[in-house]
Amino acid sequence: MNPSNKSKISKQLNIMDKLFSKQTLLALLVLITSSAYIISCTKKNEILPSPVNNNPIITRGSAVLLPGNMTTGNVNEWKLDKVHSNVMWSSNYMGSAGFLTGRFNQFGMHDVTTAEMIKYNTKAQPVKDTSWAFYENDPSKTYISGYVQINTSNTGEPGRDAGCNVSNLGTVAIDTSAQNLMVNNLAKIRSTKVEFDPLSAGYIVTLNLTWQGKLGAPITKSIIGKMKYVKRSTIAGTAPYDVFGLQLLFQFNCRDFGVTSTSIADNINIECNMNFNNK
């Protein structure tokens, strides 16, 4: 082949390579642009995920709710509506299986003193439910105290409630004619500090939990709980009255109190749903 012809062919091939590269690049750009447009069109009606709000707007009122002497008919003195309240517990069965649950049939909102730790020959509330105060916008003035009678744990299974629950929790059998607030049947809580919860309209509560369990003498452990205020509202009728609620959630380690039963996990969850009225 003539060298000059060979040179011409080589130049033509280089020009074709460059043209092909430019055309390929142009085609790719068109394809990417078209795809982006199609995707944007097909997603234009989809809802974008909301950003996480690390500074929630929290609104609190100025309710001040106090028990006073719990005088019937005094609308400024709030009474615990025990019939519509409850104290519930739950724990994992065998430490990891499904939940075991129950409630305490007898409880109250009273800071039981040592002198009051006796057996009361009554079926009514043995002591007044007056050891609490709630200031919606001033938690430094809010406080709560309460107790449960351990032997009134009710799982719905009488064999368990009167059997292994009594022995495993270090308490005594129920006396149906009395309210037993003796030291071996009493668990108490008492708040030491109440603060605003920065992430909700609720409150962070530091509590002292005092219980004997199976130790032979009561001990006190400091725990942290969360409390929610269910706002005051009016129940209509021929004689209208107001109601409100306080819900307290906390957890404790039963091994701290000498409970060794392997049927329950270490941690016991407690939920207290207290309802009040001003009738």
Write the pLDDT tens digit of every residue in 19-76.
Answer: 445 555 444 444 445 444 444 444 445 555 656 667 788 999 999 999 999 999 999 9
What mean pLDDT value characterizes the chain? 87
**Side-chain-side CA neighbours of residue 170 (13 Å):** 20
| Percentage of residues of the chain with pLDDT beyond 90 | 73
Q: Which architecture characterizes domain 64-277 according to CATH?
A: Beta Barrel (2.40)
The first and second tokens of residue 143, run together, are 């406080």
The first and second tokens of residue 44, run together, are 């234009």
According to DSSP, the residues that pair with 250 across neighbouring strands are 225, 270
Whole-prediction pTM value? 0.79
Of 27-36, 96-105, 213-222, 240-249, the range with the lowest mean pLDDT is 27-36
Q: Of 37 and 245, which is predicted with more confidence?
A: 245
pLDDT at 36: 46
Amino acid letter at 257?
Answer: F
pLDDT at 55: 76
* CA atoms of 169 and 166, how far apart (whole Å): 5
For residue 25, CA distances in Å to 32, 37, 39 come to 11, 18, 21
Q: Do residues 99 and 92 lie in contact, with contact meaning Cβ atoms separated by under 8 Å?
A: yes
* CA atoms of 33 and 9, how far apart (whole Å): 36
According to DSSP, the residues that pair with 132 across neighbouring strands are 144
Write the pLDDT tens digit of every residue in 123-181.
Answer: 999 999 999 999 999 999 999 999 999 999 999 999 889 988 899 999 999 999 999 99
Of 46-60, 74-88, 100-114, the range with the lowest mean pLDDT is 46-60
228 SS3 class: strand
Q: Which class for 180: exposed (0-12), middle (13-18), buried (19 or more C-beta within 10 A)? A: buried
CB contact set of 189 (below 8 Å; sequence gap of 6+): 144, 145, 146, 147, 207, 208, 209, 210, 250
**In the chain, what are the domain boundaries?**
1-46, 64-277
Q: Count the Cβ atoms, other than its own, within 10 Å of residue 55.
A: 7
Q: Count the Cβ atoms, other than its own, within 10 Å of residue 209.
A: 19
Amino acid letter at 170?
Answer: G
Q: Do residues 91 and 264 lie in contact, with contact meaning Cβ atoms separated by under 8 Å?
A: yes
